[in-house]
Amino acid sequence: MPNENNNSQHEILTVTDSLKIPVGETISAEGNYYSFFKSDTLTGKEILYIPTLKNELLSYDINQGKQVRNLTFQKEGPDGIGDFFVINEINNDSIILIGKNHYSIYLMNSQAKKMATFSMKATGELSTREIFIMPTLSLLHADNKVIYQVHPAILLNEKSGKRYFDLNVKVFLSLDLKTGIFSMLPVKFPNFMANKNEYWDIFHFKTGSDLLGNNLIYTFSGSDSLYSYNLKTGLKKQVSAISKHVRKGNGVFQRKYTTVEGLLSVFAENTSYVQVLADPFRNRIYRFVAHHTDEWKKSGNLNDVLIYKPFSIQIFDGDLNFLDETEIFSKQSFDFIDAFVGKKGLYISNNHQANPNIDENYLSYSIFSLKK
């Protein structure tokens, strides 16, 4: 069970408000997984950024509930970046993003002009790795540095003849935007994942990460531990926090499979600690835990593994002390992958594919507040 702090402080998340933003036809109301959120402490503005199907970046003021900017990126030419994936805005005139080239990070200005291209292709150990593109991964920015997970290299086990991911390596790259130098943070995959005789799939070694002050907070889908790394002091911390809903036989370490179908069934039938969100307004950390599901067996559609998993949310303070965990959200009305934290609380999308009340004309979020 999770490690609780000495004060035994318990908090729970309760829906207290909602947000609806009208959108056009270039935005799908479902699956806004590459969106990101910014709260400007100087102006007080809270902006939700949504990529569109036409390589646009739309900006919405969530307090006004309306669009405030439309920025289109070129796919080809001197300012071309292909189809962009992960993105973040440093300030009003500096945007960092990853396009079709999984070895490069681009720095763009507010007119979508390319200011710089940073390539890790010929950078030591990174030359055999690439930027990891996946919806729940975050392109983070702190102290003029970009932080992101790098895909592990694929090696050959000479004894078994099977290929495996090399997880005896560091996880996060750090790009200094002033010098253009890539380096790896001194953070490695958990030891139990680094055995070359075991094959860990991307569902389980993928991280979820966010920043809370100077601390990089991160979780591995296949590990019940929550981790932090202080970017200033180098201090590391790890706490074990097994979900209270884990049943015997539905942990994260059962992974015997030989086919893609087997891989997906393992992911569906076991627990995954898939994402973390930092709450700087309340000094809290929220970790989303995806639980066992048999939905794919009922439908015969293995895609249901990815979108129908029930989930709960663990709550920690800024020092990684466990505070509480919600019950499992059994109704498939929330899309927890599309979530962010604002001044009002934790916003979670209502636009789940199984929600019969989806309105394609709106992005809809429920706002959760902390209650003791």
Pair 216, 234: CB distance under 8 Å: no
How confident is residue 250, by pLDDT bands cut at 50, 70 and 90?
low
Residues 6+ apart with CB under 8 A from 304: 293, 295, 296
Q: Is pLDDT at 4 greater than 50 in this prediction?
A: no
pTM of the model: 0.91
Q: What's the one-letter identity of residue 157?
A: N
DSSP code string of 122-178: TSGGGGG-EE---TT---EEETTEEEEEEEPPEEE-TTT--EEE--SSB-EEEEETT
SS3 68: strand
The predicted pLDDT at position 198 comes to 65
Mean pLDDT of the chain: 83
* Least confidently predicted of 113-117, 166-170, 199-203, 335-339: 199-203
The predicted pLDDT at position 109 comes to 93
DSSP code string of 255-319: ---SSHHHHHHHHHHS-EEEEEEEETTTTEEEEEEE----HHHHH--TTHHHH---EEEEEEETT
- Extract the tokens encoding 159: 């004894």
Q: pLDDT (tens digit, 9 = 90+) per residue, 275-310?
A: 999 999 999 999 999 888 777 677 666 656 666 788
